[in-house]
Amino acid sequence: MGVIRLGLSGGIGAGKSTVAKTFIERGAYLIDADKIAREVVEPGTPGLAALVEAFGAEILTDDGSLDRPALAAKAFVDEEQRQKLNAITHPLVGARTRELLEAAPDDAIVVQDIPLLVEGNMAPFFHLVVMVHADAETRVERLTTARGMPEDDARARIAAQATDEQRRAVSDVWMDNSGTTEDLANAAATLWSERLVAFERNVRARRPAQPLVHLVAADPDPSTLGTRLVNRLWAILGDKATAITQTATDTLASEAETLGLELSPADLTAPEVSVTLAPAVRGVAELLADGGFPRVDGEVDVYASADPGRPGVVRTIVG
């Protein structure tokens, strides 16, 4: 299986659509969370019927479609009503997302456009998280001019979302959109050709990546790489693991030598993680390979990242 899942996110007005469009032009399989959220409550769907039963016919327009402002006025008055809304829509969105994932080609680079990826704690469930960033004032200007949004509304929406620090902490790629649309599209095209294509091929071929220095050095927050790696492994292995800990931070050059890779300089670091497996578990090697950590040739319990921009070594032991 060669499918890799990329989580694409960023604050409102940051420019995700430009990145998504660039990826689609190069063959990405797009799953748009906002589009799915609209689809599952279209007229005639069980989702819309459930919302009417829960919140009343006042949430419908004259043509029978969902009146979103009317729903918001009822669903966001308190936590109980918000939870009622989520209990209806989230399972429907999840089920439709799974359907689309199952329909993806075996060699797909699946791009999941999820505005609230950080807020939903979804980052560990992706092979790679790409964050599109623009500062708040730039986003306010875009929202008020291009979208016609009132300034107070734009600022309130920005304030209600994750902070830049929270986004950096979970991001594997940080795409700055302070320049032109063309600049962002070019950066996305480079990311696709230099990293994503190689990542997918490595996962499909079950081989560790040759880390590329300029990609590794561009990590948005290298200090969080170990934590991201641990969280990713928990998402991959679930209850097959009883403990996952970062055991060392060796120089990338040293690890490269261990794995038979040629790389310099030696001032870049690659996290090493120890995974304690539950007794008698099966299928761990396939899970890790599908998740982006194929077994190292000649080793029984050593795995390495298939992502050329995110070095890392995983060692497994049976607890």
264 assigned ligand-binding residue: no
In the sheet where 173-176 sits, what is the strand order? 29-32, 109-113, 4-10, 128-133, 173-176
14 assigned ligand-binding residue: yes
Residues 213, 265: Cα–Cα separation, whole Å: 8
56 assigned ligand-binding residue: no
11 assigned ligand-binding residue: no
Contacts of 32 (CB under 8 A, 6+ apart): 20, 113
13 assigned ligand-binding residue: yes
269: phi > 0 → left, psi -120 to 50 → alpha, else beta; which? beta
Contacts of 156 (CB under 8 A, 6+ apart): none
Residues 17, 8: Cα–Cα separation, whole Å: 10
β-pair partners for 174: 131
17 assigned ligand-binding residue: yes
Q: Letter for the amino acid at 139?
A: R
**Rg of the chain on CA atoms, in Å:** 21
Residues 14, 35: Cα–Cα separation, whole Å: 18
In this structure, what DSSP letter does residue 123 have? G
- As annotated, the binding site for ATP includes 13-18
- As annotated, the binding site includes 13-18
